């Protein structure tokens, strides 16, 4: 067995040989692993899952997109099947590539994004007033809510993980962020005096400062029966409009708008310009104070004057608010549509920038506050999820748990972690659920297979297909890879930022992701250490991989322990060369949230 480490300032020998840098600007500590390790089943499954995902995405793209990158569908505006749904068909593709999938994935989703911008700039409404000149303006949604805006930006906001030097990406990110920093006089979305985004409907044409209508949400009239199958079960255009008939109170700020913080955050990650960071912290801090002032419940209605509750003084008001319960027109049932939870990413984004618990504690207090409202109903302890004129309602046996996992993951303090269920991934990290490892990877493999087979049976044609129809066939199945390879939290369909303990880069191919044939397993996460195993499944060729501390190099590795041999490294990344068929376990002492996060690759920055 041979093992060697090169420090940033000279060489520190751990074994018998020293590896010279594989590239001239290698500034990271480097270690050589020549310990043979027969590939474990999980390592082979990871490699197969990456390959299967990439092959399936290739097939999906060539079925549902044309040579321009346009989605083959009927283009519409609206909350049912609008522009956001079109590009959401490539959900998770950026993270898939950033983990190590074939470069085809990057090429395809970039082509889809370019096509998407052109397609929905050309697409226009007839009756919906603000999209008559194009559903996109300046390559951004004209005016819509962030539940939908975020769904349409997941591909774009995560592109920097693989492609941070792309000129168009940087230019667009700055332009998009500028829509909320008031850089664009046509889009006065933000009121810096009251620290509010002035409407739930906002975008490249600014805020909508009037009540919304069913038409605004549903889009132009369209034939439905025998042609389309809508996601909410509507069978006529009239039912589509009726679905949104109560979606009126949009003026003023709402927690959904906290999702917009991903844009200046990404601008900061790409450029390092402090004004983007400052805006994120300013806006999130305003919402932090609102939670505190509202007795530790995030309000869902902020008036144009910055006051909680707006003109009516109801903190629980507004579309998608705590008291937003509406009738489903086709069934007459009551639906509770409270999306306050979409505000949580704003607070986790601020934590990524600062590591400051003051951005998490108000949400932590909210969890306690809501669960303290529990009461016995029909002999069972039940918890509320809604609040109206008569107080808390919509009780069920499920505790309020929004943010429990996210807060536990970010802080890893004992009290927060104790609130998380110890099944699944958390049980695995705790050493009590070994079966989770292969089960999770095999489940994602099965998901890829099912979706590919289902898409091959899809009988829709471009003129009978809405933008959201192919989404159920999108094969990208990566939750297990995010948790197991990156030690991270999988992003949802509004997920614009990746929170993970480590990321990988191929310094030879000069790209993000694990080199082909390499597999990684994060086995344990502690507040001050990261335990992972690296395996080279290739029995003929050595592989070199750079491990980065955090998704955006926000952490720092302080020490490295291999086989009980500790060394100081003090760097944001570590480069490991694995001999053919070799592997090992690494314990990395980790100082978290201590660095200025960035999207620069390890060889593009000074450590």
Q: What is the pLDDT of residues 127-184, one digit of tens each?
A: 999 999 999 999 999 999 999 999 999 999 999 999 999 999 999 999 999 999 999 9
Closest alpha carbon to 205 in 195, 193, 221, 216:
216
Q: What is the pLDDT of residue 232?
A: 78
CB atoms within 10 A of CB 198: 21
pLDDT tens profile 201-254:
999 999 999 999 999 999 999 999 889 988 778 889 999 999 999 999 999 999
pLDDT at 178: 98
pLDDT of residue 172: 98
Where the chain has pLDDT below 50, the residues are: 1-25
> Which residues are CB-contacts of 56 (< 8 A; sequence separation ≥ 6)?
448, 451, 452, 475, 476
Q: Can you give the pLDDT at residue 80?
A: 87
Neighbours of 211 (CB within 10 A): 12
- Give the pLDDT confidence score for residue 607 in this predicted structure: 63
Q: Which residues contact 279 (CB under 8 A, 6 or more apart)?
A: 177, 180, 181, 264
Interstrand relation of 30-33 and 573-578 (parallel, antiparallel or unpaired) = parallel
Q: CA-to-CA distance for 33 and 436, rounded, in angstroms?
A: 28
The predicted structure's pLDDT at residue 26: 52
What is the structure's pLDDT at 329?
86
Distance (Å, rounded) from C-alpha 166 to C-alpha 552? Answer: 17
What's the confidence (pLDDT) of residue 4?
Answer: 46
So what's the pLDDT on residue 230? 84
Q: Which two tokens stand for residue 181?
A: 């920093």
In terms of Cα–Cα distance, which of 19, 114, 74, 353 is closest to 220? 74
Burial letters for 144-168: b for 16+ Cβ neighbours within 10 Å, e otherwise? bbbbbbbbbbbbbbbbbbbbbeeee
Domains of the chain plus CATH, in order, are: 5-34+501-604 (2.60.40.1180)
In the chain, the N- to C-terminal Cα span, in Å, equals 29
What pTM was computed for the model? 0.95
Looking only at the bridges linking them, the beta strands covering 136-137 and 190-191 are unpaired
């Amino acid at each position: 067995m041979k093992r060697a480490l090169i420090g940033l300032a000279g060489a520190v020998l751990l074994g018998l040989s020293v590896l010279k840098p594989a590239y001239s600007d290698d500034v990271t500590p480097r270690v050589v692993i020549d310990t043979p390790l027969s590939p474990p089943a999980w390592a082979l499954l990871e490699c197969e899952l990456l390959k299967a995902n990439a092959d399936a995405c290739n097939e999906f793209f060539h079925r549902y997109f044309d040579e321009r990158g346009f989605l083959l569908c009927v283009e519409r505006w609206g909350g049912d099947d609008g522009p956001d749904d079109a590009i959401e068909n490539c959900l998770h593709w950026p993270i898939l590539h950033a983990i190590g999938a074939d470069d085809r994935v990057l090429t395809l989703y970039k082509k889809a994004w370019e096509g998407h911008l052109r397609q929905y700039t050309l697409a226009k409404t007839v009756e919906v007033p603000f999209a008559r000149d194009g559903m996109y303006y300046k390559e951004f949604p004209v005016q819509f809510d962030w539940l939908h805006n975020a769904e349409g930006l997941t591909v774009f906001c995560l592109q920097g993980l693989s492609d941070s030097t792309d000129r168009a990406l940087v230019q667009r990110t700055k332009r998009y962020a500028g829509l909320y920093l008031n850089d664009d006089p046509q889009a006065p979305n933000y009121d810096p005096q009251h620290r509010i985004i002035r409407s739930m409907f906002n975008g490249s044409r600014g805020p909508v400062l009037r009540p919304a209508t069913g038409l605004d949400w549903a889009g132009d009239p369209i034939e439905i029966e025998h042609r389309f199958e809508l996601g909410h079960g509507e069978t006529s255009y009239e039912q589509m409009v009726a679905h949104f008939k109560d979606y009126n109170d949009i003026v003023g700020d709402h927690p959904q708008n906290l999702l917009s913080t991903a844009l200046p955050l990404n601008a900061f990650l790409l450029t390092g310009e402090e004004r983007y960071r400052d805006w994120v912290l300013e806006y999130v801090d305003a919402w932090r104070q609102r939670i505190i002032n509202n007795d530790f419940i995030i309000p869902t209605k902020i008036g144009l004057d910055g006051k909680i509750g707006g003109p009516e003084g109801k903190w629980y008001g507004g579309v998608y608010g705590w008291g937003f319960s509406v009738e489903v027109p086709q069934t007459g049932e009551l639906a509770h549509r409270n999306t306050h939870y979409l505000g949580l990413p704003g607070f986790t984004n601020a934590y990524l920038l600062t590591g400051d618990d003051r951005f998490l504690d108000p949400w932590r207090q909210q969890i306690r506050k809501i669960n303290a409202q529990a009461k016995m109903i029909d002999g069972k302890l039940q918890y509320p999820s809604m609040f109206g004129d008569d107080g808390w309602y919509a009780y069920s046996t499920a505790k309020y748990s929004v943010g429990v996992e996210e807060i536990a993951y970010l802080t890893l303090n004992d009290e927060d972690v104790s609130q998380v269920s110890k099944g699944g991934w958390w049980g695995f990290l705790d050493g009590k659920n070994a079966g989770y490892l292969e089960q999770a990877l095999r489940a994602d493999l099965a998901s890829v297979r099912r979706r590919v087979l289902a898409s091959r049976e899809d009988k829709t044609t471009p003129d009978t297909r809405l933008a959201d129809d192919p989404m159920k066939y999108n094969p990208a199945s990566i939750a297990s890879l995010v948790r197991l390879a990156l030690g991270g939290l999988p992003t949802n369909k509004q997920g614009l930022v990746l929170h993970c303990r480590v990321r990988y880069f191929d310094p030879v191919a000069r790209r993000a992701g694990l080199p082909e044939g390499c597999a990684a397993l994060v086995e344990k996460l502690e507040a001050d250490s990261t335990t992972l195993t690296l395996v080279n499944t290739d029995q003929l060729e050595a592989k070199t991989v750079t491990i980065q501390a955090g998704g955006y190099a926000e952490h720092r590795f302080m020490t490295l322990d291999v086989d009980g041999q500790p060394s100081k490294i003090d760097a944001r990344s570590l480069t490991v060369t694995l001999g053919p068929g070799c592997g090992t376990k690494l314990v990395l002492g980790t100082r978290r949230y201590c660095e200025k996060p960035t999207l620069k690759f390890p060889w593009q920055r000074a450590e």
